[in-house]
A and B are shown apart, each in its own frame.
Chain A
Amino acid sequence: MANLLQIKNLKVVFGGEDGETDRLSNVSFSVKKGEFLSIVGESGCGKSVTSLAVMGLLPANGMVTDGEILFEGKNLLKQSEKELDALRGNEIAMIFQDALTSLNPVFTIGNQLVESIRAHTPLRKAEARSRAISLLERVGLPQPESVMRKYPFVLSGGMRQRVMIALALSCNPKLLIADEPTTALDVTIQAQIMQLLRELQAEFSMSVILITHDIGLVAQMADRVIVMYAGQVVEQAEVHDLFYHPAHPYTKMLLETVPSTKDTSQRVLSSIPGVVPEDYPSIKGCRFADRCPYAKKECADPQSLIAVSETHDARCLLCGLNTQKEAGDSDA
């Protein structure tokens, strides 16, 4: 499968009162056509910054200082605002966590949908309106005509998120970025939204990037997973490999911290000691080293992504040692 989106060595810097800090360093990954990719990580690890950089929506104090974002071979960072406008919404769409703040409170749902459809397509008003109604119907909203006349605050959280999805799908995008779309919703509604996303992905043969911190959701939805920690990609693998053969200690520990309803044993939940270091951009070596039970003095050196297998990389020298051992290298 061809790469739809490829991110190479992306570096994002945020300016603040006390100088600039790196929020992303050397982030590289790709999304294939029709693939369901998931980015997991704790808050502040850079998963949302990555998606905002792709959309060109970084806040005013944020700046991409290095790297490339290639969408179908075109470098998005080199495009003008006008060219980007043609891509955003048409080719790449995004849904956000908080649907209420993403929708304009003073316009009706119909108003906003029709406006966005007309901005991106040559459809006339009446045609755009009927397209909006069919979209609302497709995302499972009952009585779409009456929803068109409603204001966002009248709708429930799940219905608002459905409207957001309809808005994102209005131009059949090739890539949909969903930034924690169900974090604010109840589990039964989350299951509805996820089922909808999965159906729509198949129907429109979209690529989807699902950003989440819910490990269970990743297991249920993703084809491939990127694990981020402190502004770096620490592991990427096919979903099965990641859950059954995690290579990075952080991933291993993260998987063990998830309490499950299937778990009937009285095991003590393992937790990762400590917190994500706040000054992580200044750490030269492994950024997880001070919380890692396997840390050695070599971990203070800069770490790069090491191939565990063809489709599996991890940023840890331990997995490098293991593969070297398997290859019969006695240096380890």
Chain B
Amino acid sequence: MTAMPDENPLLIVNNLKKYYPVKGGLITHTVAQVKAVDGVSFFIHKGETLGLVGESGCGKSTIGRQIVALERPTSGQILFNGETISGKGSRVLRPVRTQLQMVFQDSYSSLNPRKRVFDILAQPLLYHKIVPRTEIDAEVERLLDLVGLPKSSGQRFPHEFSGGQRQRICIAKALSLRPSLIVCDEPVSALDVSIQAQILNLLRDLQKELQLTYLFVGHGLGAVNYISDRIAVMYLGKIVEIAEAKELFAHPAHPYTQALCAAVPNPDPDDRSKQFVLSGEVEIPTVKAGERSKNIGCRFCARCPLAKPSCRETEPELLPVFSGSSHFAACPFTASEEKPEGEKE
């Protein structure tokens, strides 16, 4: 468990688990379980951005969806503003949902194609009674203005916009309920680089203006580095490393983070160092029904260049890289390392 923060964080996730059943057999029943998220704990302060990175299938989106209560956790708690929201019914959640919003990767499928942008933005405002009916027009205009779209966009349909503009509409939609936390699930991965930069800057500006808190899920390490204060690296349903963004890329401690950083192609043709290429592929852990979940040791050990026999026996805990550090890594061979130079900040 990551060290508890000094003040009250906006969001606390405590030992969150999500197992999906695998159905099969002659009479359909659960034959196995996929451990998508397996004991994840972290917190986010108000006004902070936590980046969540990892390869596809590591459970990062599942965490995001559980936080905004689109999915129920198998076990574990999610505390928002000090209140437990995990496992609560929809009536209890209704007022909380306005505070928790989400921006999805595919802007096209998250907007109703048969509605004009005005209606898309006005509907949640009316439902949650954010502004009186008479002020809806002005509020929608304000939202469009906030995300840098012309007022006339209100009368157009989603398909008339480009990918970047549609993502702006989705951000406006998320902002309409005046949330305090926005989960951004790969909001820029479907966009071209020049548009990607526009959206990242928009998210950053909005954060400053409206004191928003973000959980930024992504696999583009460059983009995540740009927007995040802290970054958590996930591998197969577990957080393997969590640290300040600058610190994480300067001194990656976990072998997986090191491999991930090395795999990002560096936009400098003169730096074509023989990069270390991680072999093997991700294998999502499943547990057969009736079988007791056995201790699988470190999930990364099959691909890890530093793996030792002991890695297969005990699952490493997330521990500070050196005592008192806010840099945590789940690898016993880096945690014992001495404090790197130039660390004091």
* Interface of A toward B, CB cutoff 8 Å: 42-43, 156, 158-159, 186-192, 194-195, 213-222, 239-240, 242-243, 253-255, 257-264, 268-273, 275
Q: B269, A219: Cβ atoms under 8 Å?
A: yes
B residues 192-220 in Cβ contact with A at 8 Å:
192-198, 200-201, 204, 219-220
B1: CB under 8 A from chain A?
A: no
Of the residues B197, B261, B278, contact of A257 by C-beta under 8 Å: B197
Chain A residues whose CB sits within 8 angstroms of the CB of B165 once the complex forms: 275
Q: A259, B268: Cβ atoms under 8 Å?
A: no
CB distance from B190 to the nearest CB of A (A): 10
Given contacts A189-B281, A191-B275, A213-B192, contact A263 B162 (CB under 8 A): no
Query: Bound state CA distance, A239 and B164, in angstroms?
Result: 29
Given contacts A192-B277, A220-B272, A269-B201, contact A42 B193 (CB under 8 A): yes
Nearest residue (CB) in B for A192 is B277
Q: A216, B264: Cβ atoms under 8 Å?
A: yes
> How many A-B residue contacts, CB cutoff 8 Å?
129
Q: A269, B272: Cβ atoms under 8 Å?
A: no
Q: A219, B265: Cβ atoms under 8 Å?
A: yes
Chain B residues whose CB sits within 8 angstroms of the CB of A188 once the complex forms: 55, 259-260, 263, 277-278
B223: CB under 8 A from chain A?
A: yes
Given contacts A216-B265, A220-B265, contact A264 B249 (CB under 8 A): yes
Nearest residue (CB) in B for A212 is B265
B99: CB under 8 A from chain A?
A: no
Given contacts A42-B193, A191-B262, A271-B194, contact A259 B219 (CB under 8 A): no
Chain A residues whose CB sits within 8 angstroms of the CB of B267 once the complex forms: 215-216, 218-219, 243, 255, 258, 260
Interface centre among B223, B250, B265, B282 (most CB of A within 10 A): B265
Chain B residues whose CB sits within 8 angstroms of the CB of A275 once the complex forms: 162, 164-165, 195
Q: B194, A191: Cβ atoms under 8 Å?
A: no
Chain B residues whose CB sits within 8 angstroms of the CB of A192 once the complex forms: 277-279
Query: Bound state CA distance, A115 and B251, in angstroms?
Result: 50
Query: Bound state CA distance, A88 and B268, in angstroms?
Result: 34
Query: Bound state CA distance, A220 and B269, in angstroms?
Result: 6
* Interface of B toward A, CB cutoff 8 Å: 55-56, 162, 164-165, 192-198, 200-201, 204, 219-223, 225-226, 246, 249-250, 259-272, 275, 277-279, 281-282
Chain A residues whose CB sits within 8 angstroms of the CB of B198 once the complex forms: 271-273
Chain A residues whose CB sits within 8 angstroms of the CB of B194 once the complex forms: 42, 253-254, 257, 271-272
Interface centre among B164, B197, B275 (most CB of A within 10 A): B197
Query: Bound state CA distance, A268 and B204, in angstroms?
Result: 9
Given contacts A186-B56, A270-B197, contact A159 B281 (CB under 8 A): yes
Q: Given contacts A192-B279, A239-B269, A271-B198, list 9 more A-B pairs with CB under 8 A.
A: A42-B192, A187-B221, A190-B265, A191-B262, A191-B265, A213-B193, A219-B271, A264-B249, A272-B197
Chain A residues whose CB sits within 8 angstroms of the CB of B201 once the complex forms: 268-269, 271
Chain A residues whose CB sits within 8 angstroms of the CB of B261 once the complex forms: 261
Nearest residue (CB) in B for A220 is B265
Nearest residue (CB) in A for B261 is A261
Q: A191, B222: Cβ atoms under 8 Å?
A: no
Given contacts A156-B281, A191-B262, A195-B277, contact A261 B193 (CB under 8 A): no
Query: Bound state CA distance, A239 and B269, in angstroms?
Result: 7
Chain A residues whose CB sits within 8 angstroms of the CB of B193 once the complex forms: 42, 213, 215, 254, 257-258
7 A-B contacts (beta carbon < 8 Å): A190-B263, A220-B269, A221-B265, A240-B270, A259-B196, A264-B250, A270-B197
